[in-house]
Chain A
């Protein structure tokens, strides 16, 4: 401040901006966190309607969720679909990302465009097309069809994540391994793949989360035989929301938060610059 010609004005201005900034930051954090926090007391509310102020605390709604066969089965189906979709889309996405970088640039561009393009397609359009096709081959309302559909939504993310991580690797390591007499298979297994390890783990978590929380494809492709958590929630929310829906929402959040934290840590590691230039 000593070098500035107008010390007092500057101090005042910076103090004002700093306070305004703090207030803005707290407001933003509240905006994001408030609705998520509100769910917890609402799911413990004694009243059957989600009214406020609360009447008293009860665990009744959680009991009715964990005691009901329908919710538990929906939870199991969702977990199974999400795990399988995560596994398949990670294997395909990571394998394709490794493989594509050996190709000619024009072919590589085409493959990248194909694997990343589902990100831009509106899910409603895609889901409608999928339903029309899957009905023809008898895969509508089956686990297999749902897993395949979720894979299409997840592969752009896994492919992109692993490709971004591979773009940050240092090719000289692979050259060094080749020079030291490793076979190309060994180079891939012991140099390339370990360098993308964090990205592969992160894309497993990300695709699990995406499949677990996906709603639109589930609404279009499933009917009565396969019911996932999102489907049950959607049916429960169409007209009236009960505390049971709030309780299930809390359960899905409790599942999601550790996944997000772990994903954040892994993705930060995977996409950090690996060596100081």
Chain B
């Protein structure tokens, strides 16, 4: 027998000892959910994506005219660049806020910590339209912030805080920062407390502990969360549509416009495929950067 600890029964069912996820063997429940899942995904996921690609090149004719339009006209290229620019600003501010929120959470204890955690997750689980409505009340010309600024004498005329780059970035950051906060918080709370104690024993102050012990532990979470925020921001539709001005037009708004108003499905589909490719390219690039970084740090 290969493994002395293996008895006849377990070898019969191929349950591997010490492997966290047993392969084969133990019954995994009825099979209908997974087949239902495959069916649902073919119907509502694989078929739509294939149709999207097909529509963008117009199945029957196989013409690339819509792509020629996307690359030929300056409008679409500048909107693609604009989308990438806004998304990267959002990703950086998400990293700043999400990471500080996670550090702040890790210093709290008990019920306050739990309450602060729930407060930090609320933005992704409350209806985004409710949040946009709330921010509009705060930021509009006759909103709370402006009346507070004028009332306190800090400003003489109402500032334009809404319908510009500032409001779009602010609200998108608000909606997406939990995606950075969650992995960072997980990394800090899983951190081996012996390391912190050792650093303290060796004379490190709280700032040094933060810089040399906690920050390196969080970096993978920061990168992964920031990348996720960037990718989701690329496809954001509701926030720039309701809070942006003309110069904050993002690609998803053009897609919706071509589709709803101009009924140019082919161009809408081509733009959707471009968006999908942008997301894939950024995910793959991010993965490569993380790999290189890890290799550098394990060897060096």
Contacts and interface: CB of A to CB of B under 8 A. Distances in A.
Q: Do A and B come from one complex?
A: yes
A229 B128 CA distance: 12
Give chain A's interface secondary structure class.
helix
B276 A92 contact: no
A151 interface: yes
Nearest to A248: B130
Interface in B6-56: 7, 9-10, 13, 15-17, 19-34, 36-38, 40-41, 43-45, 47-49, 51-52, 55
B165 interface: no
A94 B29 CA distance: 10
A215 interface: yes
Contacts of B24: 102-104
Contacts of A10: 205
A11 B100 CA distance: 23
Given A24-B100, A256-B127, A187 B138 contact: no
A98 B126 CA distance: 30
Contact of A122 (B129, B205, B276): B276
A253 interface: yes
Interface in A30-84: 31-36, 38-39, 42, 49-53
Interface in A108-123: 111, 114-115, 118, 120-123
Contact of A215 (B129, B147, B232, B234): B129
Nearest to A36: B134
Contact of B49 (A42, A121, A166, A171): A121
B28 A122 contact: no
Contacts of B13: 178, 184
Determine the interface band of chain B, counting residues with CB < 8 A from chain A.
35 or more
A92 B33 CA distance: 5
A91 to B, nearest CB: 5
Give chain B's interface secondary structure class.
helix
A120 B231 contact: yes
A230 interface: yes
Given A129-B49, A188-B26, A215-B127, A249 B205 contact: no
Contacts of A13: 205, 207
Contact of B275 (A92, A122, A209, A229): A122
12 contacts: A10-B205, A14-B205, A32-B120, A36-B134, A92-B36, A92-B40, A95-B30, A103-B24, A115-B41, A129-B269, A149-B44, A187-B27
Interface of A: 3-4, 10, 13-14, 17-18, 21, 24-25, 28-29, 31-36, 38-39, 42, 49-53, 88, 91-96, 98-105, 111, 114-115, 118, 120-126, 128-133, 148-149, 151-152, 155, 166-167, 171-172, 174-175, 178-179, 184-185, 187-188, 192-193, 209-210, 212-213, 215-216, 219-220, 229-230, 233-234, 237-238, 241, 245-246, 248-250, 252-253, 256-257, 259-261, 263-264
